[in-house]
Amino acid sequence: MRKKCLFVFVAALILFSSCTKNNPGSNPSPPPPGNGGGGGTGGSSLTVTSISPTNPYPDDEFTINGTGFNANASLDTVEFGHLINGNFAAWHAGIPSQYSSLCTVNNASTTQLKVKAVNPVELDFDSYSFGQTSIAVAQIRTGGKKVVTPLIPFKRLMRINGTNDPETNISWGRPGDSLDINGQGFNKIGLNVSIGGTALSNFKVDSTPFSARISTRLPKNFFGGENDETITETRTVTVTNNDGKSLQKDFTFFMSPTMRVYSMQSTQSSYSLSGLAGSGGMVTINIIGRALKGDAIFYIDSNTGIHTQNTLGVSGFPDTYTIQFAPSAVGNYQVRLERNNALYKLCNFTVTQ
């Protein structure tokens, strides 16, 4: 009788040991709502042989290669998590619909699963500590079996968050001004940036694991020769990493640079008609500014009844301009530069005999 009891005990121990080996890892939390875990896979073992691409972004669709998957995608469950003492633990904190463990199986065969994270922002947050090293793994369950992938080295999530003009502290960019494109996951080397299909050729990239900024100054004629500083249009910003990952987002931009005038002065405060006659008879007035515009008007007035006006007539938004004027009479003169009825600068000079 003792021998029979001993045999039953040993048989039970062998059966328990066999079941434990067929269930590597455990899930301390119940899986979130998603694909089912039922269905049969026949006698084939459940394995993972590779991940493609080997270094995906959290919002990429990637492929899990292996054996024993169910060709019915609804019967394969894949969820993200990490390992605790060698056991799988999914990320289940927070609202179920926002679980970072959630994963959609887009396509399935017995040897391949094409999967995509439902909440890539949360996956990115939970997959990384304070550096670039990923701690993410994925668990596949089907047909009553489960298997855990090796570590999946996700890249940091790439995002375009917004634009900013640091000179005016508003979000709308303007040609001629500095522009920041803020986001995350931008490569410091080999990055390509375009606005409305026009590539930026001169920019700087600052990037940490948690934030990134592209800094540039838009050329004054980046959107053409528009003079109206109030016109805005939507343009698509495209940022492409050196591995080909590309994002696009629409932002509002002003179409024309802001005209500024820093100084306007005649080369002398007083001229004599006789002296001018000997040097060509011209008074020279130098304008220094930024993005001078052809529709700006300069007025020349004197107390002797001279009143003239002309447009600058420039193109390409130069930063300097020279006015030359031949006075015909002795008197006090004033030159004003105006645009859209706004005074930018004025200067005075005297003409003597």
Residue 155 C-alpha from the chain's centroid: 16
Q: Is the pLDDT of residue 20 over 50?
A: no
* pLDDT reading at 18 higher than 50: no
Whole-number percent of the chain with pLDDT over 70: 86
Q: What is the average per-residue pLDDT within 36-47? A: 58
Q: What is the mean pLDDT of residues 308-317?
A: 95
219 vs 196: CA distance, rounded Å = 14
Q: What is the mean pLDDT of residues 82-111?
A: 92
Contact call for residues 128 and 209 (beta carbons, < 8 A): yes
Which residues fall within 8 angstroms of residue 72, CB to CB, at 6 or more apart?
39, 108
Q: Is the per-residue pLDDT at 26 higher than 70?
A: no
The structure's pTM equals 0.79
DSSP 230: T
Residue 12 has pLDDT above 50, yes or no: no
pLDDT (0 to 100) of residue 131: 54
Q: What is the SS3 assignment for 273?
A: helix
Which region holds residue 294: left if phi is over 0, alpha if psi is between -120 and 50, else beta? alpha
- Pairwise CA distance, residues 203 & 192, whole Å: 10
pLDDT tens-digit series, residues 274-306: 888 777 789 999 999 999 999 999 999 999 898
Q: Domains (ranges, CATH) in the chain?
A: 25-148 (2.60.40.10), 159-254 (2.60.40), 260-352 (2.60.40.10)
- Tokens matching residue 153: 């080295």
Token duo for residue 106: 């887009």
Q: Is the pLDDT higher at 82 or at 13?
A: 82
